[in-house]
């Protein structure tokens, strides 16, 4: 190749049409989750800004620039706290998921052991009965 991008509108590092594979099976769900997260965060920003305005409303002695500075600081602090809370919740969700997956593996092993044990016992009993009837 001559170094030029043969696919206008595509970056050379991106796959061209012949390299594009089928979409990932969970691509729709991933996109949906991203959009939902974006919209929830935008709602959080709007709520933080509204609360900041409510906080500064009774402070009529503030100048306009002071009011803006206080509202920005209030909003930034609120969003910082929200992000920390969300990170904590996400971490806890990951921890709980790992605990449940561990518990599920234990239960699956236990069920398999019981199934094999009962199957072996039934096979042994039926073999013994067949031998007894044969004599």
* Residue 10 included in any domain: no
Domain residues for the domain of 79 are 27-127
* Residue 113 included in any domain: yes
Tell the residue number behind the tokens 């599920």, with chain if given: 104
Measured distance CA(12)–CA(6) in Å, rounded: 8
Rounded to a whole number of angstroms, the distance between the first and last alpha carbons of the chain is 84
* Residue 77 included in any domain: yes
Q: Which segment of 10-24, 25-39, 110-124 scores lowest on mean pLDDT?
A: 10-24
* Residue 135 included in any domain: no
* Residue 96 included in any domain: yes
Measured distance CA(112)–CA(125) in Å, rounded: 20
Give the distance from CA 91 to its chain's centroid: 10
* Residue 97 included in any domain: yes
CA pseudo-torsion sign 107, 112, 117, 122: positive
Count the domains in the chain: 1
How does pLDDT run across 95-109, given as a tens digit for each residue?
999 999 999 999 999
* Residue 9 included in any domain: no
* Residue 73 included in any domain: yes
How does pLDDT run across 33-80, given as a tens digit for each residue?
899 999 999 999 999 999 999 999 999 999 999 999 999 999 999 999
**Residue pair 76/44 in contact by the 8 Å Cβ criterion:** no
């Amino acid at each position: 190749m001559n170094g030029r991008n043969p696919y206008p509108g595509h970056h050379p590092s991106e796959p061209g049409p012949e390299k594009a594979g089928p979409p990932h099976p969970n691509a729709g769900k991933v996109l949906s989750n991203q959009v939902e997260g974006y919209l929830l965060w935008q709602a959080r920003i709007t709520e933080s800004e509204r609360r900041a305005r409510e906080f500064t409303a009774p402070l009529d002695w503030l100048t306009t620039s002071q009011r803006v500075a206080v509202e920005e600081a209030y909003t930034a602090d609120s969003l910082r706290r929200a992000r920390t809370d969300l990170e904590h919740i996400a971490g806890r969700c990951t921890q709980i998921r790992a605990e449940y997956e561990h518990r599920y593996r234990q239960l699956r092993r236990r069920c398999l052991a019981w199934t094999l044990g009962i199957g072996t016992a039934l096979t042994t009993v039926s073999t013994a009965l067949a031998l007894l009837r044969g004599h």
